[in-house]
Chains A and B, each alone.
Chain A
Amino acid sequence: MSTPIIWILIPLIIGIILFFIRRWYRITVLIGAIVALLLGLSAIVLPLNVLIKLGPVAFKINASINVLGRTLILDDQVSPLVALIYILAAFWFSAAFEARAGRMFVPIGLILIAIGIAALAVKPFLYAALFLELGVLITILLILPPGNHPGRGAIRYLIFQTFGTPFILMTGWLLAGVESSPGNLELVIQASVLLGFGFIFMLAIFPFHSWVPMIAEEAHPYAAGFIFFFLPLLVLLFGLNFIDQYAWLRQSEEVYVALRLAGVIMTCIAGFWAAFDRHLGRIMGFASLTGIGAMLLAVSTSPSMELFFAMQVPRALSLAVWALSLSILQRRAFKIQPTTINIDPNNHPQNTTPTPKESLRFENIHGLGRKMPLAATSVTLAALSFAGYPIAAGFPIFQAIWRNLAGQSTIYAVLALIGSLSIGIGCLRSLAALFIGKRIDSWELNEHWFSATFLIIGNLLILILGLFPQWILPYAAAISKIFSQITASPLAP
């Protein structure tokens, strides 16, 4: 028995089995969430390389396995990260049924997480790019459920993510040359450019970001939110491996300057777009882009990677609550809209049934907040938390990012702050659209009690984490030790 079998092969097999029994929707969600939670807990409690005796049976759990001449390693150092990823996955899976995220959501999600863990485990780590590409390919099933036409967002997502892989693989080959002759400036520049292009494509960094709001509009909000959370996280962990492994990258001030610049551009521009969009899903998409920017800022401004790991918990919480609320609102908007009949100027009745894609447009949600007040309030609170507003879960992290950034560049700090403020503007506009209708409807609580329970728990967690960050965030921050070289480097920013 070895850790790659437990944390990669078993979830992969269970994911495949769940895929084939997905007609039993509730059961697949339940099994997926429990399996993810158990795998997360096993990563905390299982002792590695120690003889375990269970009655007459004795066995040892190894940390590595050989596959086709290469090694997959998941040792003690990585297991806290594995635990974090699986527990966050369990958190996402648990509300999948309430969000009606699709029968494929949990099986494909579990397979994606298994592939992501394989990407963390493979040595040499450069091959992780191929695992991530495989992960991207299967997420198309989440974005494009059966019975739907592939939208431009899905196609663009597939193209841009696929473009990133060759760049990363070629960089790996060039880096070997850089390691052997670090003084070769030409080689260093070539490797840096290729690496930069690879991550620009994979992280949806401006100007290759367009698929994010498109998918947020086309796909189910919960499936989109899941991808927006896990994919950038896995890609950035892969990127941090580069910085951790290669001394010339780690010790280069230019690398951190470039990351900081990309982070500020992402937060500021995406925040600006979020402020003026008229589709609730697209606003979440743009906010996710600012989230990627914030992660880049956390990596480039923090003296260690603690901020980066600590921010994953509030990020997951805010995005999951946001996506769940949007799913509930979308279902309701889609359900009530077909009854709307417009009379055109020639007195011909026209059915204005919006598609699921259109049902989250401002014009289709007017007054919906009065019918679904909990979901509408949750959208607002989750969005404010995601943007780092006070007393919500994201605030302690964003405050630290802004403080660190201000120490390095005041202009950058102001721009990052503008990005977060812009999401707040988008949030206020959404709130206005949700609660102001053409006619004054009475207030009703139409959320199903189970959905309401999830939303209330989510909102409470957002507030509790904002008020008492010391309860959870230090544990997440401690995971940063897996990048021992970065945290030990005196030249890190």
Chain B
Amino acid sequence: MSNLLVLLPYIAILSITITSLGLLTARDWRWFIVLLAIQYAGIAALTSSALPLEMAITKMVTGWMSAGVLGIAIASVPSSWRLEGRFWPTGRIFRFLAALLVFIAVFTAVPKLVELLPQTPLPLLNGGMLLISMGLLNLGLTAQPLRVSVGLLTVLGGFEIIYASVETSILVAGLLAGVNLGIGLIGAYMITAPEMEQEYE
């Protein structure tokens, strides 16, 4: 059991590496939502080493709620997902290679970042920076509302991992949960807005 606890951060990093790569390359929105939910489990596992377990679980539940809201929205307007362009620079191979570059950059830079953030444990820094970088990459390659929302949630998730090691306030945790949920809701609104009835005047 204790071995598992020691390995937990590394398992979490592996899981968020896979999920963030999946979020960058996935073309089926169902996979997208599932991967986002798994990513939040990874975020909770990583933050649990710095925060009380109940606060870490709150982050996971909030993330799942955001993923759920986005999933419901895209399921009700699947046409918005089909509108996404599929020209070559954003193809899977390009995205995979870009992600590979990001992984190399992150794992090279993190040992130096430890000097700037000495109280943040290395696994948290690795996981946080990985998610921030992958989220930024995702945001840079798309303007589709679902991908943008997931990109923002990924960036914020990465930040929350790092911030958990320096700030444990309940109000901040609550507000960050509100922001995560807000991004999910606004993402869902942006997906469904074109199909909504116009409000005249």
Contacts and interface: CB of A to CB of B under 8 A. Distances in A.
Contacts of B162: 170
B175 A134 contact: yes
Interface stretch (B3-11, B34-42, B99-107, B186-194): B186-194
A146 interface: yes
Given A144-B193, A159-B139, A166-B159, A69 B169 contact: yes
Given A100-B201, A103-B201, A69 B170 contact: yes
Interface in A148-184: 148-150, 152, 154-155, 158-159, 162-163, 165-166, 169-170, 173
Interface string B162-193: 11001101111011101100110110011001
A369 B167 CA distance: 57
B199 to A, nearest CB: 5
Interface in A127-161: 127, 130-131, 133-134, 137-138, 140-141, 144-150, 152, 154-155, 158-159
Interface in A368-406: none
A145 B148 contact: no
Given A137-B183, A140-B190, A145-B198, A150 B145 contact: yes
B155 interface: yes
Interface string A96-124: 01001011100000000000000000100
B76 to A, nearest CB: 14
Nearest to B142: A155
Interface string A275-297: 00000000000000000000000
Contacts of B201: 25, 97, 100, 102-103
Interface string B114-148: 00100000000000000000000001000101001
A69 B171 contact: yes
Contacts of B167: 169, 173
A70 B199 contact: no
Given A134-B179, A158-B148, A162-B156, A68 B193 contact: no
A149 B194 contact: yes
A398 B167 CA distance: 42
A146 B176 CA distance: 27
Given A155-B143, A159-B152, A169-B167, A130 B199 contact: no
B171 to A, nearest CB: 4
A342 interface: no
A69 B174 CA distance: 11
A102 B198 CA distance: 10
A147 B194 contact: yes
A103 B155 CA distance: 33
Contacts, number: 107
A70 B171 contact: yes
Contacts of B182: 133-134, 137-138
Given A162-B183, A166-B163, A170-B163, A141 B189 contact: yes
A147 B199 contact: yes
A45 interface: no
Contacts of B155: 162-163, 166
B50 to A, nearest CB: 13
Contacts of B175: 127, 130-131, 134
A70 B169 contact: yes
A50 interface: no
A140 B187 CA distance: 10
A218 to B, nearest CB: 12
Contacts of A68: 170-171, 174
Contacts of A155: 143, 145, 148, 190
A168 to B, nearest CB: 11
B97 interface: no
A146 B192 CA distance: 8
A190 interface: yes
Contacts of A100: 201
Contacts of A134: 175, 178-179, 182
A67 interface: yes
A125 to B, nearest CB: 12
Nearest to A167: B159
Interface string A23-38: 0010000000000000
A70 B171 CA distance: 7
B136 to A, nearest CB: 9
A173 B166 contact: yes
Nearest to B145: A150
A130 B172 contact: yes
A154 B199 CA distance: 19
A150 B143 CA distance: 9
Interface string A466-477: 000000000000
Contacts of A97: 201
B198 A146 contact: yes
B194 to A, nearest CB: 5
Contact of B199 (A67, A102, A133, A158): A102
A116 B31 CA distance: 37
Interface string A66-87: 0111100000000000000000
B178 A146 contact: no
A146 B143 contact: no
Contacts of B194: 147-150
Contacts of A138: 182
Nearest to B151: A159
B196 interface: yes
Contacts of B148: 155, 158-159
Contacts of A166: 155-156, 159, 163
A145 B189 CA distance: 10
17 contacts: A103-B199, A103-B201, A127-B169, A130-B176, A138-B182, A140-B189, A140-B190, A144-B190, A145-B193, A147-B199, A148-B194, A149-B193, A149-B194, A155-B145, A159-B151, A165-B179, A169-B167
Given A102-B201, A134-B182, A190-B116, 9 more contacts: A22-B199, A100-B201, A134-B179, A137-B182, A138-B182, A148-B193, A150-B145, A162-B152, A170-B159
Interface of B: 116, 139, 143, 145, 148, 151-152, 155-156, 159, 162-163, 166-167, 169-172, 174-176, 178-179, 182-183, 185-186, 189-190, 193-194, 196-199, 201
Q: Ordered nearest first, which 10 A-B pairs have the shortest CB separation?
A: A147-B198, A146-B196, A130-B175, A137-B182, A166-B159, A68-B171, A70-B171, A150-B190, A173-B166, A149-B194
